[in-house]
Structure 1
Amino acid sequence: MLNNFEDLQKMGKENMDVAMASFGTMSKGFQAIAAEVADFQKKSFEDSTAAMEKVVSSKSIEKAFEVQSDYFKSAYEGLVGEMTKLGEMYTELSKDAYKPYEGIMSKMGK
C-alpha cells in the first residue's frame, strides 16, 4: 500500500513538472509574440506617418496618389508578411508547449 502511495506521489510530481515546463514555454512564447506585435505596430505607425508627410509635401496630386499607392502596397505586403510570421510563431509555440507531454503520452501508450 505504501509503495502505491509513493508511486502516486511520484507520478503527481512528474505531471506537475511537465505542466510547469509547458506553462513556462507558453509564457515565453506569448511574450515573444507580444513583442513582435508591438514592434510591428511601431514600425507601421512610423511608416504611415512618413507616408502622410510625403503626401502632404507632394507638389502635385499625381505625386500624392503615387506616394499613397506605394504606401498602401507596402503596408499590405508588410501585413501579410507579419501575419505569416505570427502564424509560424504560434505553430512553433504549440509544438514547444506539447513537447513536455510527449514523455507522458509515450508512457501511456505502453
Structure 2
Amino acid sequence: MIQDFEGMQKASKESVDLAMKSFGSMSQGLQAIAVEAADYSKKSFETGSAALEKILSSSSVEKAVEAQSEYVKTAYEGYVGQMSKFGAMMTEMTRDAYKPFEGLFGKFPS
C-alpha cells in the first residue's frame, strides 16, 4: 500500500513539474507575442501618422490619392507579413509548451 502511495506521489510530482515547464514556455511565448504586437502597433501608428501628414500636405488631389494608395498598399503588406509572423510565433510557442509532455505520452502503450 505504501509503495503504491509513493508511486502515486512521485507521478503527481512529475506531472506538476511537467505542467510548470509547459506553463513557463507558454508564458514566455505569450510575452514575446505581446512585445511583438506592441512594436507592430507603434510602428503602424508612426507609419499611419506619417502617411496622414503626407496626404494633408499634398499639393493636389492626385498627389493625395497617390499617397493614400501607397500607404494602403504598404499597410496591407505589413499587416499580412505581421500576421504570418504571429502565426509562426504561436506555432513555436505551442511546440515549446508541448515538449515537456512528449516523454510522458511516449510511456503509454497505444
What TM-score, normalized by structure 2, do the two folds share? 0.96
RMSD between aligned residues: 1.0
CA distance in 2, matches of 1:16, 1:103: 14
Counterpart residue identity of residue 95, structure 1: R
Matches within 5 A, 1:1-110: 1-109=1-109
1:15-64 CA deviation, whole Å, 9 max, x = no partner? 00000000000011011111111111110000000000001111111111
Counterpart residue identity of residue 6, structure 1: E
Secondary structure of the structure 1 residue equivalent to 2:108: helix
Q: Which runs of 5+ in 1 are unaligned?
A: none
Matched residues, percent identical? 57
The 4+ residue runs of structure 1 with deviation greater than 6 A are none
What TM-score, normalized by structure 1, do the two folds share? 0.96
Secondary structure of the structure 2 residue equivalent to 1:109: coil
Give the number of aligned pairs: 110
